[in-house]
């Protein structure tokens, strides 16, 4: 589904990656290794060299708004630009997915300023879910969450994999990588190496 060839970011590279339908790939590595930069480059948010191809079509041939709908990035710190949560769900919000993430559906009417870090992060995941992306790019999706909320997010990601979505997941938790990922890659200087065993 997603092919990355010769991706070079300011952290280094080049990086090559194939991500299949219904596959979860975890990226592990120390801070500063370039994990987040790889996600941002694939999402077309930072300048980078190399090719990114989705279903046989190069990213440059897909309009940026369409690309970001099909390839959704959920950063470690999500952006919020309007006063109320609902205003950030351009395609409409699914109360069921918000509740599945352990939040009250009434959260859609909350003011953003009242949200905790964990609530913001789960709502950012729900916001991306509303787009029904083909590819998820997730940067520490449970880093700010307690055990119960983390479990809910992991269940949602497993359901997305079952739907056929491909998921590229940055985590600092090797146990999470073992639980979720079909493959695990380590990142160093923007390069990817597959962990075996």
**DSSP structure string for 106-136:** GGGGSBGGG--HHHHHHHHHHHHHTT--SEE
73 within 8 A of 39, measured Cβ to Cβ: yes
The SS3 assignment for 8 reads strand
| Mean pLDDT, rounded, for 121-147 | 93
| Mean pLDDT, rounded, for 138-155 | 93
State yes or no: pLDDT of 196 exceeds 70: no
| Mean pLDDT, rounded, for 82-109 | 88
0.75 exceeded by pTM: yes
Kindly report the CATH class assigned to 2-194.
alpha beta
State the pLDDT at residue 144. Answer: 84
The SS3 assignment for 54 reads strand
Q: How many C-beta atoms lie closer than 10 Å to residue 118's C-beta?
A: 18
| Mean pLDDT, rounded, for 136-152 | 94
The SS3 assignment for 153 reads helix
| Mean pLDDT, rounded, for 8-13 | 91
27 within 8 A of 169, measured Cβ to Cβ: yes
- Average pLDDT of the chain, as a whole number: 93
pLDDT in tens, 71-81: 999 999 999 99
State the pLDDT at residue 21. Answer: 96
Candidate ranges 31-35, 71-75, 97-101, 143-147; pick with highest mean pLDDT: 71-75
State yes or no: pLDDT of 197 exceeds 60: no
Q: How many C-beta atoms lie closer than 10 Å to residue 89's C-beta?
A: 17
Range in 9-13, 58-62, 91-95, 106-110 the model is least confident about: 91-95
How is the beta sheet containing 2-9 ordered, strand by strand? 12-19, 2-9, 49-54, 57-58
User: How many alpha carbons lie under 13 Å from residue 174 in its C-beta half-sphere?
Assistant: 5
Distances (CA, A) of 127 to 64, 78, 79: 18, 10, 11
State the pLDDT at residue 97. Answer: 87
| Mean pLDDT, rounded, for 32-52 | 94
State yes or no: pLDDT of 107 exceeds 80: yes
């Amino acid at each position: 589904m997603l092919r990355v060839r010769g991706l070079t970011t300011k952290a280094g590279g080049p990086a090559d990656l194939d991500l299949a339908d219904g596959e979860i790939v975890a990226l592990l590595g120390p801070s500063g290794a370039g994990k987040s930069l790889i996600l941002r480059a694939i999402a077309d948010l930072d300048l980078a060299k190399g090719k990114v191809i989705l279903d046989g079509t190069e990213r440059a041939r897909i309009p940026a708004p369409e690309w970001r709908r099909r390839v959704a990035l959920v950063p470690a710190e999500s952006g919020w630009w309007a006063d109320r949560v609902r205003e950030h769900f351009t395609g409409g919000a699914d109360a069921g997915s918000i509740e599945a993430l352990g939040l009250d559906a009434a959260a859609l009417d909350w003011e953003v300023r009242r949200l905790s870090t964990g609530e913001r992060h789960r709502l950012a995941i729900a916001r991306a879910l509303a787009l029904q992306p083909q590819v998820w790019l997730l940067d520490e999706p449970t880093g700010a969450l307690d055990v119960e909320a983390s479990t809910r997010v992991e269940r949602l990601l497993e359901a997305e994999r079952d739907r056929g979505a491909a998921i590229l997941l940055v985590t600092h938790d090797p146990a999470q990588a073992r639980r979720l990922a079909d493959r695990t890659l380590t990142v160093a200087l923007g390069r990817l190496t597959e962990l075996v065993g």
